[in-house]
Amino acid sequence: MAETLAEKLEKSDLGHWLARFESFMIFVGVAGPFATVPQLIKLYFTHSQHAEGQSLISWSLYALLSLLWFVYGLVVGKLPIYLGNGISMVLNLLMVFGIMLHAGYTF
């Protein structure tokens, strides 16, 4: 049976080096999506009148893509992938609902 790229990487020096940073990558996977929080604060609390300037299509696609990555992370059992994308999906959906609440179905 042919060895996959992931299996080759795990056996390589680079793979062993990267494995040392798994805890850091879990932190990055969780902390990264929180970059959306300032947008959520503006959308819901400080500048809701600018909701029309947000793209409902883009935020919906971000939510959908996060969902796909979340499911993939669950299937392959990689905590940084499913945890980070699960959080990202929730935050992106909050953006979608906020845009629809304040601006309706805008593009």
Domain architecture of the chain: domains with CATH? 26-103 (1.20.1280.290)
**pLDDT attached to residue 88:** 96
Residue 68 CB coordination number (10 Å): 11
Give residues with Cβ within 8 angstroms of 83, minimum separation 6. 26, 29, 30, 73
In this structure, what is the dihedral angle of CA atoms 73, 79, 84, 86, given to the nearest 10 degrees? Answer: 60
Distance CA 68, CA 89 (A): 9
Q: Which amino acid is at 80?
A: P
**pLDDT attached to residue 1:** 61
Distance CA 1, CA 14 (A): 23
pLDDT in tens, the chain (107 residues): 678 887 887 788 887 887 788 788 888 888 999 999 999 999 999 999 989 899 999 999 999 999 999 999 999 998 888 999 999 999 999 999 999 999 988 77
